[in-house]
Structure 1
């Protein structure tokens, strides 16, 4: 009798287990959590760079059931950390690309998936909408990353400070006119000096602008083209129209603090600042009334400026390369571009529909001059990919620093730049 009861109990248990298995199998595909795929993405300072979250959330919305794991790395440690990760065989699927030097480093070590076929498959309309912004990742006809953002350097200005000096808002400026405006707008207000303009410490603001506006390159080893620009930077800080470089470095001054506290009337800066500035105004952290215009030029006419890309690449060690490629293509394409434009940044893909989103954001200046600043005739690069780019970048940083603190004259600094470049360029 006991044996019979035991067999009945076991039979009931078997039926229950079988029923449970059948229930799990018959879920009409609703068990997304169990069957979903996961992508890991390495990015720098994820919480303070909203373009990452914007693209990730847009991709997740479009691709239900995909899990995203963020590998968040401090900005100043990012390149070194990624280099170490890749060397150790790390399988993080997607890598945010911070600068051209590190991109070249990863690509030449065969650590990134080749995305050339994807890009070569684009029709002409798609290529036109990129406005040449894929070129920053081209290496010998191949591409190992795709940009999702492309900055445009422009001139930000404080309308109230212009109004107080009865000066017309800047438009279609030459560099000589820019310098003269900086002189007029340098004043004292409430016992505090207000500078006519602010030149942040990043060397490309002077030197990449010079290279693009004179038809030269920072990677060719000749730097005489930058002399007039560097002379102007030194002259303006010596005359007090711009805060001097040494003070900026010593006090760790930020470009945002200078502009948002109305300590400067003008400031050349990248379009990545648009969204940050709009948010600062919206959240009440500043009451600055601002506008943007094109970067000053050597002569009136066509506008030439520059900007660096930010992109995504697929780690060649990824365990899920096809899904990773899908993510990179999404972020670089129209849907990812719309997500970037919605937060006030300039995407790499710049169709009319995408740019209309940016133009019409709450807080974005609506005048034609602002739109013109976002549509330069030529928007070049800080540096194009080359095997020497990382070493050249480090060298220029060092020599630019010596010039700007006036330990070296501009002429001596250019000679030092060319001598050291000659030792680097292979």
Structure 2
């Protein structure tokens, strides 16, 4: 951990020197102002994430909070002009290294979150939670505890399902699935694939994220991640081998899913591939409901995440969240925590774009709020019946908070996956090399 922190700090220090002073500088108080008046001025809290205003509806969200909390002025600051989470993470790291104002910060995945805990960027929330009598595992669908401590609460709840183009489904005379396996998904993909060349319509699309290299593992209740919480490899899990074999068959043998080489060489964006009709099906997260309500081009129906085995629980899928915490260098930690608590409970429903990880949230109202915040014509293209039916059977797997070095392990795993999917090595070598690389990283970080 010490080595990881030193490396991260060094990189950030160099980056900060290159970019100079950050946006987060706050002007000093006017010494000419009356001291009493200055004391009564609202405390300014910055909320920093990667969402654009269009993606997050943040102005209206913080305004709703400010109206009921006159002693605080919350402002949202986007870390990415394009709404890219990876770009946002890098800029947040720069802020942490530069000493600029940080109060409420968000991270998009468990590995990103774990790495920032190791770097000392996040404040422990246990004392605040204890004071408010909040038992996180009782209040939220995910339990982001790390070594017995809490550094964040779950924000936007991400559960996966499958989007299907209703027109293409009807054309192929296929019913909307309500329960299916990955083998059945592959059969649907065959029936939904047609055409050749640039005009080809694929039945399926898998992006280059690690979730798409772990298709069946994503519904493993006990460990839906490529490593276990202690950093030991989970590549021996038969669901990993099955997932890679399935992708290879669909992309390179049956040719019913967009080939991996095209995905990376053309720098495809999964949203655009679906909107353009290049794929009839897309396994993805529930954040797409809000995006469809703004951008839908055709009627979209929804199906549960496919099962590894027909006997498995229907709708079991990887559960993720935005991890919303308080910056360790915040000068207003209590006020920042108060906003985190509000946002992760009532606030997401006020925001009206995402699904809440709060157990007390009303699912039907959550859906209505998201559709209401969309464009009427686009929102009408979302099949509400299949959406609600799918959301009701969805059940998140246990959250795995991996070690701080898990991103290194992910990178090595995906390197081997790429070699396999582009025909440069076989499945057995891919599995064995990935296991060795992952274990080597664990051992080097254990020293």
TM-score grouping bracket, smaller chain normalisation? 0.7 to 0.9
Matching of residues 221-370 of structure 1 within 5 Å: 221-225=233-237, 226-238=240-252, 239-281=254-296, 286=297, 288-300=298-310, 301-302=312-313, 303-333=315-345, 335-340=346-351, 342-343=352-353, 345-358=354-367, 361-362=371-372, 363=379, 364-367=382-385, 369-370=386-387
SS in 2 for 1:169: coil
Q: Distance in 1 between matches of 2:208 and 2:74?
A: 36
Whether 1:167 aligns to 2:174 is: yes
Matching of residues 100-111 of structure 1 within 5 Å: 100-111=110-121
SS in 2 for 1:187: coil
SS in 2 for 1:188: coil
Matching of residues 105-124 of structure 1 within 5 Å: 105-120=115-130
Which structure has the larger Rg?
Answer: 1
The equivalent residue for 2:12 is none
Q: Distance in 1 between matches of 2:216 and 2:64?
A: 33
SS in 1 for 2:411: helix
Q: Distance in 2 between matches of 1:48 and 1:254?
A: 18
Aligned length: 387
The equivalent residue for 1:6 is none
Task: Determine which of 45, 52, 70 is the counterpart of 1:46.
Answer: 52
Matching of residues 27-106 of structure 1 within 5 Å: 35-50=41-56, 52-53=58-59, 55-64=61-70, 66-74=72-80, 75=84, 76-106=86-116
- 8 Å CA contact 1:100–1:390 kept in 2: the answer is no
Q: Distance in 2 between matches of 1:306 and 1:295?
A: 9
More displaced, 98-107 or 143-152? Answer: 98-107
Q: TM-score when scaled to structure 2?
A: 0.78
**Relative to structure 1, is the Cα distance of residues 402 and 62 closer, same or farther in structure 2, using a 3 angstrom cutoff?**
farther
- 8 Å CA contact 1:32–1:65 kept in 2: the answer is no
Deviation at 1:359, TM superposition (A): 5.1
The equivalent residue for 1:419 is 436
Whether 1:405 aligns to 2:422 is: yes
Q: Distance in 2 between matches of 1:46 and 1:422?
A: 38
**Relative to structure 1, is the Cα distance of residues 269 and 338 closer, same or farther in structure 2, using a 3 angstrom cutoff?**
same
**Relative to structure 1, is the Cα distance of residues 126 and 322 closer, same or farther in structure 2, using a 3 angstrom cutoff?**
closer
Structure 2 gap segments, 5+ residues each: 1-32, 373-378
RMSD: 3.0
Structure 1 gap segments, 5+ residues each: 1-23
Q: Distance in 1 between matches of 2:152 and 2:339?
A: 12
Whether 1:384 aligns to 2:401 is: yes
- 8 Å CA contact 2:208–2:263 kept in 1: the answer is yes
- 8 Å CA contact 2:115–2:405 kept in 1: the answer is no
Deviation at 1:92, TM superposition (A): 1.6
